[in-house]
Amino acid sequence: MRIRKLFGLGSALLLLVLALCLGACSSSYQAADPLAGTAWIAQNDGSWWNFAVDGTFGWYQDKNVQDDNYYSGTYEAHRGQAGLDFLAESLTEFEHTRETAERMIEDNGKFDEDYILDNFICFSCNNQSFMMNGQEQLDGDWQTAYYGFLAEEDSQLVILNLRTGTWYWFDKEEA
């Protein structure tokens, strides 16, 4: 009888540990980089933005010309609550607060069901190269940051440049 109780207790403990591990794995999956391995075409000018799985990016004025008129470097992206935390904790130089972003989410959510916290995205780009007309334009790294939404089932990226205050709309490029 005592062995059965110990076995039952041990099994229950094992199930609890497995449940916690699965929950942690699920949380890690949700916190994964939402832009990794994607490419986007700008609606306004046809420029192309590519985010690699290794945390690097390239923005090209023309997708077919990748040796001139581009920015490249590394990036960090977060979605949902993690995006708000990233904005508030890591992007303070841009003077956009958590409260500003929360108000933007609330206001936009009234008009479009895609504009909710779960679809909120915040990311920064550490520009390490800016080539224009065959000449490097940067002396050192230069950071830009964006926030907005991954909408239309992650097929549209609607973002605000936190440095310039300009909104951009991108459509996901199909693989």
Question: Which tens digit of pLDDT belongs to each residue from 112-161?
Answer: 999 999 999 999 999 999 999 999 999 999 999 999 999 999 999 999 99
For the cut 90, the answer to whether the pLDDT of residue 4 exceeds it is: no
Chain segment 56-90, per-residue pLDDT in tens: 999 999 999 999 999 999 999 999 999 999 999 99
pLDDT of residue 141: 92
| Structural domain total, the chain | 2
Are residues 10 and 80 both part of a single domain?
no
Are residues 37 and 12 both part of a single domain?
no
Are residues 44 and 75 both part of a single domain?
yes
The amino acid sitting at 19 is A
Structure tokens at 81: 């609550």
Residue range 90-109: mean pLDDT, rounded:
95
List the one residue out of 87, 65, 81, 79 whose CA is nearest residue 131: 65
- Burial of residue 127 (CB within 10 Å: 0-12, 13-18, 19+) is buried
Q: Which residues, 6+ apart, have CB-to-CB distance to 42 below 8 Å?
A: 48, 49, 168, 169, 170
Rounded to the nearest integer, the mean pLDDT of the chain is 86
Contact predicate 48/173, CB 8 Å: yes
What's the Cα-to-Cα distance from 87 to each of 4, 83, 148, rounded to whole Å? Answer: 52, 6, 11
pLDDT of residue 1: 54
pLDDT of residue 102: 97
pLDDT of residue 174: 81
User: Residue 6 sits in which domain range?
Assistant: 1-30
Residue range 12-39: mean pLDDT, rounded:
53
Are residues 60 and 129 both part of a single domain?
yes
- Count of positions (residues) in the chain: 175
For the cut 70, the answer to whether the pLDDT of residue 31 exceeds it is: no
Are residues 114 and 166 both part of a single domain?
yes
pLDDT of residue 32: 87
Are residues 136 and 168 both part of a single domain?
yes
For the cut 90, the answer to whether the pLDDT of residue 6 exceeds it is: no
Q: Give CA–CA dist 130/139, Å, rounded.
A: 10
pLDDT of residue 139: 93
Are residues 60 and 110 both part of a single domain?
yes
Residue range 36-42: mean pLDDT, rounded:
97
The percentage of the chain sitting over the pLDDT mark of 90, rounded to a whole number, equals: 80
Are residues 20 and 38 both part of a single domain?
no
| φ, ψ (nearest 5 deg) of residue 38 | -120, 160
The amino acid sitting at 32 is A
